[in-house]
């Protein structure tokens, strides 16, 4: 999958005629790609536009600009060109996992109906086939066949996320967007779900876009990591590289904020203040008001995402990345 120049602007309307006075630039020019069987992590603070990227890819939001090319059986298809009606047949190639396991399952449907609904929508198999498929998958994700006749309220948070995973897998997708699937779960359950996602990836050759704000979780599951801030991608690199050797000051600050899991430890606070208003982003590099390394050029010129010579699949959007010697996570 290749994403090019993706933009999503939400209009801000005001006044009697409901005129558009400004735009919230939720995603402001984002380029990346995901290979088959790969997991790409997407991290950033809340309000950085992570979820919007995920939703634009599957056209739950109509992107304002840019293209999303998706490999459907060997042909690259630009999703933003596909008419609305044609999307249905393409949607069976991707699925989503959501953060809130309490609101993403319909509490009035039995599990069997929740899990087989995607199959029914895409007219796949007879009713018996669908139920057999559901049985098989329920066992695969660690639930029992009897659970199919229960309702979502009878399950714990971790089990609900397993139901969510079963639903996502039912139509055998190629690509799953995981939007903070473990943030609401306890650590011990988190580990179970992460391990399950990795096992399923090996088994079904899945690609994941893994959206999260917990850098420990992202490191564990991802091959490459993208760091996002205020609708822009600041850095992309392989997950080992980015933690040992961050090239963007924002990445350094995020890494410094990770807890060290030691008694009596403290964290360095490198970022002051909070994320600016995305309808009125700062000029130049959007980080400069919060960045300790900012120089004049950062206040005036927007840095491009440049690939780094000598390091494969790594890019950074910072004017000063060559001069700076940033600290990784030790």
Partner 1 sequence: MNKESLLIDVRDLRVYCHIEQGIVRCVDGLSFSIKKGQSLGIVGESGCGKTMTALSLMLLHPQPEGNIETGNIFYYPNGDSYIDIAKLDIYGKQIRDIRGNEIAMIFQEPMMSLNPVYSIGQQIIEAIRLHKKVDKIEARELAIEALRRVRISAPEQRINEYPFQLSGGMRQRVMIAIALSCNPKLLIADEPTTALDVTIEAEILKLIKDLQRELGTSLMMITHDLGVIGEMTDEVVVMYVGKIVEKADTRNLFEKPLHPYTKALFKSRPEIRMTGRLSSIKGSVPNPYLLPKGCNFEPRCDEAMDICRKRTPDLVESDGHRVSCWLFH
The residues binding partner 1 (CB under 8 A) are 45-46, 156-159, 186-192, 194-195, 198, 213-217, 219-221, 243, 253-254, 256-269, 271, 274, 329
In the bound complex, what is the minimum distance in angstroms from residue 189's beta carbon to partner 1? 7
Residue 194 vs 209, nearer CB to partner 1: 194
> Could you tell me the smallest distance in angstroms from the CB atom of residue 121 to partner 1?
31
Considering the complex, what minimum distance in angstroms separates the CB of residue 317 from partner 1? 19
Shortest reach from residue 1's CB to partner 1, in Å: 25
Closest CA to 45 of 321, 319, 271, 315: 271
Query: Is the Cβ of residue 69 or residue 214 nearer to partner 1 in the bound state?
Result: 214
Q: Between residues 70 and 210, which has the closer beta carbon with respect to partner 1?
A: 210
> Strands 2-14 and 65-72: what pairing?
antiparallel
Q: 219 vs 232, which CB is nearer to partner 1?
A: 219
Q: Which is nearer to partner 1, 145 or 186 (CB)?
A: 186
Work out whether strand 232-238 and strand 65-72 pair parallel, antiparallel, or are unpaired.
Answer: unpaired
> From the CB of 131, what's the least distance to partner 1, in Å?
26
Query: Whole-number minimum distance, CB 190 to partner 1, in Å?
Result: 7
- Name the residue with tokens 């049985």: 135
Residue owning tokens 């008694």: 263
- Residue closer to partner 1 by CB (options 46, 107) is 46
Residue 178's closest CA among 169, 187, 189? 169
Cα angle 245, 248, 262; round to 5: 55
Question: In terms of CB distance, is 149 or 156 closer to partner 1?
Answer: 156
Instruction: State how far Cα 103 lies from the chain centre.
Output: 19
Q: How far is the CB of 54 from partner 1 (least distance, A)?
A: 18
Shortest Cβ 253–partner 1 spacing (Å)? 7
121 conformational bin, left if phi > 0, alpha if psi -120 to 50, beta if neither:
alpha
Q: How far apart are the first and last CA of the chain?
A: 33
Report d(CA 93, CA 191) in Å as an integer.
27
Q: Closest CB to partner 1 among 129 and 186?
A: 186
Q: Of 128 and 262, which has the nearer Cβ to partner 1? A: 262
Q: Tokens for 176?
A: 């799953």
Sheet holding 19-33, edge to edge: 19-33, 2-14, 65-72, 75-78
Task: Look at residues 207, 205, 178 and name the one whose alpha carbon lies nearest to residue 194.
Answer: 178
Angle at 267 between CA 243 and CA 294, to 5 degrees: 70
d(CA 131, CA 170): 10
User: Hunting for tokens 């992570």 — which residue is that?
Assistant: 50
State the minimum distance, in angstroms, from the CB of residue 324 to partner 1.
Answer: 19
Question: Which residue, among 278, 284, 296, 328, has the nearest Cα to 12 in the 3D structure?
Answer: 278
């Amino acid at each position: 999958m290749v994403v090019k120049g993706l933009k999503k602007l939400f209009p801000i309307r005001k006044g009697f005629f409901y005129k558009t006075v400004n735009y919230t630039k939720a995603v402001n020019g984002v380029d990346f790609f995901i290979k088959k069987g790969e997991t790409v992590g997407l991290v950033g603070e809340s309000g950085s536009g992570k979820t919007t990227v995920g939703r634009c890819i599957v056209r739950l939001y109509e992107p304002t600009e840019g293209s999303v090319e998706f490999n459907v059986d060997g042909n690259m298809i630009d999703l933003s060109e596909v008419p609305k009606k044609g999307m249905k047949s393409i949607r069976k190639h991707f699925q989503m996992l959501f953060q809130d396991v309490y609101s993403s399952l319909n509490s009035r449907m039995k599990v069997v109906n929740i899990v087989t609904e995607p199959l029914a929508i895409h007219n796949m198999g007879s009713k018996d086939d669908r139920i057999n498929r559901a049985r098989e998958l329920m066992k695969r994700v660690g639930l029992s066949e009897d659970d199919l006749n229960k309702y979502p309220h009878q399950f714990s948070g971790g089990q609900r996320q397993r139901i969510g995973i079963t639903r996502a897998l039912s139509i055998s997708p190629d690509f799953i967007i995981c939007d903070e699937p473990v943030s609401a779960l306890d650590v011990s359950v988190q580990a179970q779900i992460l391990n399950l996602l990795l096992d399923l990836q090996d088994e079904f050759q899945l690609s994941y876009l893994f959206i999260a704000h917990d850098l420990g979780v992202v490191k564990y599951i991802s091959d490459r990591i993208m760091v996002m801030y205020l609708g822009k991608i600041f850095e992309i690199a392989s997950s080992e590289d980015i933690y040992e050797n961050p090239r963007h000051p924002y990445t350094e600050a995020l890494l410094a904020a990770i807890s060290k899991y030691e008694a009596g430890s403290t964290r360095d606070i490198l970022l002051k203040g909070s994320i600016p208003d995305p309808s009125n982003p700062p000029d130049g590099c959007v980080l400069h008001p919060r960045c300790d390394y900012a120089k004049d050029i950062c206040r005036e010129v927007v840095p491009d995402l440049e690939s780094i010579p000598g390091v494969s699949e790594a890019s950074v959007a910072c004017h000063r990345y060559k001069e700076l010697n940033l600290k990784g996570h030790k």
